[in-house]
Amino acid sequence: MSALQALLTPTVIYVKKVVELHDKVGLKGIVHITGGGMTENIPRVIPKGLGVQINTASYQVRASLHVTCTCCHCLLCMPDCSAIAQCHTR
């Protein structure tokens, strides 16, 4: 993809998918991963004393995703622990 094509590509709007997921399982937090990557953005929505466990084998990793995400965008939706099995069904 050329730089011009990338600039002209419309923004992906996640609202419908996020609302569907929230209605299905209830979300406890949503993180838009941008410049700070996972290591800076995820802790912002996690209560003190808690942590996260990310199965990195469950998605395709871009080299910059964990440390910094200046060129890629992702949205992490965090369900209640009791609803995790439901998240894997489509």
pLDDT at 87 exceeding the cut of 70? no
- Amino acid 68: pLDDT: 45
When pLDDT is averaged across residues 10-27 and rounded to a whole number, the result is 85
Percent of the chain with pLDDT over 90: 1
What is the radius of gyration, based on Cα positions, of the chain?
15
Model confidence band, residue 34 (pLDDT cutoffs 50, 70, 90): confident
pTM for the predicted model, two decimal places: 0.57
- Amino acid 69: pLDDT: 43
Please tell me whether residue 32 adopts helix, strand or coil conformation.
Answer: strand
Token pair belonging to 79: 């369900």
Segment (H or E) for 23? helix 15-25
pLDDT at 67 exceeding the cut of 50? no
Apex 81 CA angle, 86 and 65, nearest 5: 90
Residues 6+ apart with CB under 8 A from 80: 25, 26, 28
